Structure 1
Amino acid sequence: MNYKRLSLLACSLIAAGASFAQKSQKLNIDHITVFLSGAEIESDTRIEVPQGTSEILLTNVAGNLNAQSISVGADNNVVIQSATPKNDYLSEQNLSPKAKQLADSLDYLKIRLGEINNKKATVDEQISVIRSNRNTGGANSGLNVTELQKMLDLIALRMNNLLNESNTLQRNIDKTNERIALLDKQYNEELQKGFQPGGQLLVKIYSPVATTTALHVTYITPNAGWTPVYDLKAAKINDPLQLVYKANIVQQSGISWDKVKLTLSTGNPNEGLTAPDMQPWFLSFYVPKPVMYKNMMAAAPLSSSMRAKSDEVADGSLGAYVSVNNSGVNTRFDIALTYTILSDGKEYSVAIQDFQVPATYRYYTAPKLDPDVFLQARITNWEEMNLIPGNANIFYEGTYVGQQYLDPATVKDTLNLSLGRDKKVIVHRTEDKNYRSQKMIGSNVRRSFQYTIEIRNTRKDNIDLLVSDQFPVSNDKDIEVIDTEAPGASIGENGIINWELQLKPAETKTLKLQYAIKYPKDKRIMGL
């Protein structure tokens, strides 16, 4: 279908006739591209237009949209003259779904409270009538003792029932008032969360003849976005890893995305398009400023709790439903399945891709820093998976073991994933106190150190283990690191020591490292 398309800037409110009621039409959302920050919403509808100039008020539009991004197209020689976004300030639509639910609960409880109060008033009136007529049958009534006793018994029974009922109703009133107070507090808190109501789009149209036209509307809302998250699952050691690539989508556009097709883009339209311009780099002398001491014990920010996710992808391979497009500047994931994403600010988990990833496994320990041994899965060729920085949920043998942040920008050729601590491989690192010494050599001090690392494999299978330690590194010519020894290890220029071991079941191996430090006796070493 051919559209005459007009890219529209933010327009001022259409004067004069705009104050009269216009015909309204609901837009149907048919596709949404979600960026890391923001989303492009594509909607359409078919309308009847009269000859000449007319206006149509389009609803089911995001609130506070980016007015510069609005594009409206029409066919059948219909011309779009202008489009003006308008926020819908109807009170009912200004409420979030949670606030509406609380408001409905408050209305119900207040109606119920009125009914209980009315019932209690009726009971209390009956009690008042009995009390006001308690002298009935007095000394001049002519009632005998038997008749008087029967009347008193009847009054006592009726009064007792009424008093009990009045007390019960009062307790119900007190509880209902307490509940109303709590809900009212929650309701007021919900109103402070800045819920974004939906908006409208007032479109001015010209047509040379009366006809029907298909309107196609696109715009960008800033109140949406997605973040990547990964599930990495290892069924058992030496098996391929299963990597599930997911997106947590959040939107508060003011309208629900009901059963729409999604495209996820790694782009961000809010970053701007202007390339940086290099400016002269001027040097100047550093002038220290006076130090102002203050209390640095500030409270650490609390981490936000995880929100419930709503994953609407059926089980099975995602390859048949998702196509990946890397031809442009950004990566796009086009998803054939439809999703419903409510405008509630909650995270909705959408599965994008899954992979069977070949991996090699090894154990790793750095006993100087942590006495435990970690099982690692090592992945190569990870660049082909279009990963972007995000958290990974790690599962091993069907059990969740923790979370790791993946940042492909910091990974070289191999991606190392920790699958947890293995208590069946035991490591002890101890210092040899007998070797430790401090001697004076002329104007210098020589301090010697030696450590023993003992490793035992209590597993029933062979393991590959990387053991890391380190020698200190000097960045001062007066500090010398000498007599370094680590038999069987490779030593890097940065002082990192690595032993690559193979351990059989129940096998124990012992590693040693030693070094000495020489420095002027009138100096003190930091970090030793």
Structure 2
Amino acid sequence: MALTYSLKSTLLVAGMVISAGVAAEAQNVIVQDVKLNSATIFLRGAELFNSATLTLPAGASEIVLSNVANNISPASLSVILNNDDVTIQSVNLRSEAKEPVYPADINELKAQIDTAEQAVAQLNMFIQINDEQLGLLRDQDFFGSSGALSTEQSVQKLAFIREQMTKIYGEQLSYQKQINNKTEEITRQKALFAEKTARFDGRQPQIVVSVDAKKAVTAELDIAYITADAAWAPAYDIRTTGLDKPVTLTYKADVIQNTGINWDQVKLTLSSADPVQTIAPPQLFPWYLAQVQDYETRNMMADMVAAPAPMVMERERSAKNKKVSRGIADFVRTDSNGISLSYTIAQPYSLPSSQESRSLTIKQTELTGKYRYITRPKLDEHVYLQADIDNAPALNLLSGKANIYFADRYIGTSFIDAATLTDKLAIPFGMNKDIQVTRTVNAKLKKQPGILGSAVEQSEGYIINLKSVYSEPVTVHVFDQLPVSQDSKILVKDVEFGDGKLDKKTGEIEWEVTLKPQQEVELPLNYTLKYPKDTQIYGL
């Protein structure tokens, strides 16, 4: 007995049987394209919302809906028929053979191949014509048989033949060279054509809906489904025109749809949700502890179970805990539903089916940033400009690349990692070569390791030199570090770093240095290490 669905109910088909057959019963068959009205594009996949107006006769009908996307998820298929006099009997997915319809870039490539092949055929024709002409030049009868030629006539005849043959052989060489070049070009283009057309299998997906109408009616049909052949990736443009100007943040999206159908004037919504991910929370299972067997027993068990070492297990457990923390921070992004972000494009947009992505602008906002110059000369002897933006979570940023511009000049590309984003967003604006920095060894203080009783001492000394060529004062934040001991037997003593601020937990030192015009400043960084003489120190 067929399962009947009532008026305005949504038919969610969890396990569809894809069939190319037709119903055995005699019934009306209606073939109709659906109209794509709107699409919600996820980070992976898209949900497409379609409609169709049906004119149905009384009795049973099979509605064959085309102009639908490839790679439909059967479990996502939803069909709504808005008429009390019509009942949905079944819904199936199937596909039929079709002539492949290629996008513009493939059609252009095919046209280029055809043009090149026609050119080769024409060149071969020219070669054949020249071969005929050469044959005539070699044929003595071509010049007539009026008897013996005078010396002057013979010279003129030979000169004519030489001139014509030289011209023809030159043309033959040119034609053959062109043929070789175009043949190589055709070979490359055909390989590219085969690669690009491999995904077109010549089959058209269809949604087949079997209905029963009490009488002849006109009914509205709404169809929604998820396809895997679309996606979007967040991207940003970050600009500023000067240190006294705000930062302009432009939210963008790199969108791709390769569904096999063109999207014409469709309402678009971009969502950070991922329909591929599981929607249910994970379950906890019992966490069992047991005493580790002795070495001999473990060897006997090795062939049966290869258990990770306790240290490895602990590291893995710690890593998992860290992943959970990042996942929670990344998951809680406030928006209209508290779960995911979504952006609705104000105007309908057209997207052809293609493997190429398109960039859409979502919105633009101005941010107040604190600009500062930063250098870490231990790693890189350059000074960089950075803007710090407070209250970064309120920006609802997703992970994505960012194109950086300063004073209308492209600086480079950075990456916003939403998973590690704190309250402050640091935006790099590139290198500043008008502030010079060096970090050199202080030879007067540096001492090689020396044994004092049962301990070894070694002294390290560095000089950080800053110089500005600006005509105005400029402030630079300098970062360096001291080694941090994790063993009471390893001492870091006789520390000197001037008026820098030390983070004792990380060992990081920060100096805030204001340089006057053309001023040069030196910062000291000195310390001594003391450790047992028979100890090998990791990290030195």
Q: Do they superpose with TM above 0.5?
A: yes
Contact kept, 8 Å, 1:123 with 1:166, in 2: the verdict is yes
Distance in 2, matches of 1:225 and 1:19, equals 42
Q: Which residue of 1 aligns with 2:40?
A: 33
CA shift, 1:277, in A, is 0.6
| Change over 3 Å in CA distance of 1:448–1:86 after alignment to 2 | same
1:246 is the counterpart of 2:252: yes
CA shift, 1:183, in A, is 2.0
- Helix, strand or coil for the counterpart of 1:505? coil
Q: Which residue of 2 aligns with 1:326?
A: 336
Contact kept, 8 Å, 2:253 with 2:359, in 1: the verdict is yes
- Helix, strand or coil for the counterpart of 1:182? helix
Distance in 2, matches of 1:115 and 1:402, equals 49
| TM score, norm. by length of structure 2 | 0.81
Q: Deviations over 1:26-47 (max 9, x none)?
A: 2221111000110001111212
Q: Which residue of 2 aligns with 1:458?
A: 469
CA shift, 1:508, in A, is 2.8
| Change over 3 Å in CA distance of 1:163–1:372 after alignment to 2 | closer
Contact kept, 8 Å, 1:238 with 1:359, in 2: the verdict is no
Of Structure 1 and Structure 2, the greater helix share is in 2
Q: Which residue of 1 aligns with 2:320?
A: none
Alignment map for 1:361-440 (pairs within 5 Å): 361-437=371-447, 438-440=449-451
Distance in 1, matches of 2:172 and 2:91, equals 63
| Change over 3 Å in CA distance of 1:118–1:444 after alignment to 2 | closer
| Change over 3 Å in CA distance of 1:435–1:274 after alignment to 2 | same
Contact kept, 8 Å, 2:369 with 2:389, in 1: the verdict is yes
> Is the deviation greater in 510-519 or in 432-441?
432-441
CA shift, 1:263, in A, is 0.2
Distance in 2, matches of 1:30 and 1:389, equals 29
Structural RMSD (CA): 3.4
Percent identity over paired residues: 31
- Helix, strand or coil for the counterpart of 2:192? helix
Contact kept, 8 Å, 1:450 with 1:513, in 2: the verdict is yes
Contact kept, 8 Å, 2:136 with 2:142, in 1: the verdict is no
Distance in 2, matches of 1:281 and 1:268, equals 30
Q: Deviations over 1:40-97 (max 9, x none)?
A: 011112121111111222221111211111112222333332232234542423x565
| Change over 3 Å in CA distance of 1:368–1:118 after alignment to 2 | closer
| Change over 3 Å in CA distance of 1:424–1:51 after alignment to 2 | same
Distance in 2, matches of 1:359 and 1:439, equals 50
1:347 is the counterpart of 2:357: yes
- Helix, strand or coil for the counterpart of 2:100? helix
Contact kept, 8 Å, 2:99 with 2:202, in 1: the verdict is no
Distance in 2, matches of 1:18 and 1:176, equals 57
| Change over 3 Å in CA distance of 1:196–1:473 after alignment to 2 | farther
Q: Which residue of 1 aligns with 2:94?
A: 86
Distance in 2, matches of 1:126 and 1:431, equals 84
Distance in 2, matches of 1:100 and 1:456, equals 60
Contact kept, 8 Å, 1:430 with 1:453, in 2: the verdict is yes
| Change over 3 Å in CA distance of 1:167–1:232 after alignment to 2 | closer
Contact kept, 8 Å, 1:231 with 1:394, in 2: the verdict is yes
- Helix, strand or coil for the counterpart of 1:103? helix
CA shift, 1:219, in A, is 0.6
Amino acid at match of 2:500: A
Distance in 2, matches of 1:4 and 1:440, equals 86
Distance in 1, matches of 2:237 and 2:56, equals 51
Contact kept, 8 Å, 1:428 with 1:453, in 2: the verdict is yes
> Is the deviation greater in 350-359 or in 460-469?
460-469
Q: Which residue of 2 aligns with 1:448?
A: 459
Contact kept, 8 Å, 1:96 with 1:195, in 2: the verdict is no
**Alignment counterpart, residue 510 of structure 1, candidates 514, 518, 522:** 522
- Helix, strand or coil for the counterpart of 2:470? coil
Q: Which residue of 2 aligns with 1:8?
A: 13
CA shift, 1:184, in A, is 1.9
| Change over 3 Å in CA distance of 1:156–1:207 after alignment to 2 | same
Distance in 1, matches of 2:130 and 2:492, equals 95
CA shift, 1:405, in A, is 1.4
Q: Which residue of 2 aligns with 1:179?
A: 185
| Change over 3 Å in CA distance of 1:196–1:371 after alignment to 2 | farther
Amino acid at match of 2:17: C
| Change over 3 Å in CA distance of 1:525–1:171 after alignment to 2 | closer
**Alignment counterpart, residue 67 of structure 1, candidates 63, 74, 78:** 74
> Is the deviation greater in 507-516 or in 381-390?
507-516
Which sections of structure 2, spanning at least 5 residues, go unmatched?
Answer: 1-6, 304-333
| TM score, norm. by length of structure 1 | 0.82
Which sections of structure 1, spanning at least 5 residues, go unmatched?
Answer: 291-323
CA shift, 1:175, in A, is 4.5
Alignment map for 1:156-167 (pairs within 5 Å): none
Distance in 2, matches of 1:21 and 1:63, equals 26
Alignment map for 1:109-128 (pairs within 5 Å): 109-114=116-121, 117=124, 121=128, 124=131
